[in-house]
Amino acid sequence: MKNGSRSNALLVELLLVIFFFMISAAILVQVFADAKQKSAVAKATNASMLDAQNIAEDLYASEDPDAVLASYGFTAEDGSWVLEKDGYLLKVTLQAETTETGELRTYEISGVRKGNTLLTLPSTRFIPKEVIP
């Protein structure tokens, strides 16, 4: 009888150890899956920020913003320009306001991933008119 109770206790201990390792493995899998997802979001955010900065600089220096956006591969959709990249979407909205002294151009570049806005980068340029005294 004593041998049977020892083997039963050993079996229970072994089952508890296996159960503990199964729970630990499940938790680790979840942790690594979350880390991979956060890494993908960080990668998309960094890439979209770099692209948005480059586009904002080119738009600021350009006389023809539509040509600059077309050269990057943007397509016009509902008054804005859209470009789908690896894992994210860049959207550029242009607004121009003409005044007596010149033209004020406002650009808003947004990075979007799976419906969530990663970043919004505004840029403004004033182009003065020639003033004749």
Query: What is the average pLDDT score of the chain?
Result: 90
pTM here?
Answer: 0.73
pLDDT, tens digit (0-9, with 9 covering 90-100), for 96-123: 999 888 999 999 999 999 889 989 999 9
pLDDT, tens digit (0-9, with 9 covering 90-100), for 45-69: 999 999 999 999 999 988 888 899 9
Enumerate the β-bridge partners of residue 104: 97, 126
Q: What is the percentage of the chain residues whose pLDDT exceeds 70?
A: 95
Q: pLDDT class for 3, splitting at 50, 70, 90?
A: low
Cα–Cα distance between 121 and 93 in angstroms, integer?
11
- Report whether pLDDT(30) > 70: yes
Cα–Cα distance between 73 and 71 in angstroms, integer?
5
Contact 114, 99 (CB under 8 A): no
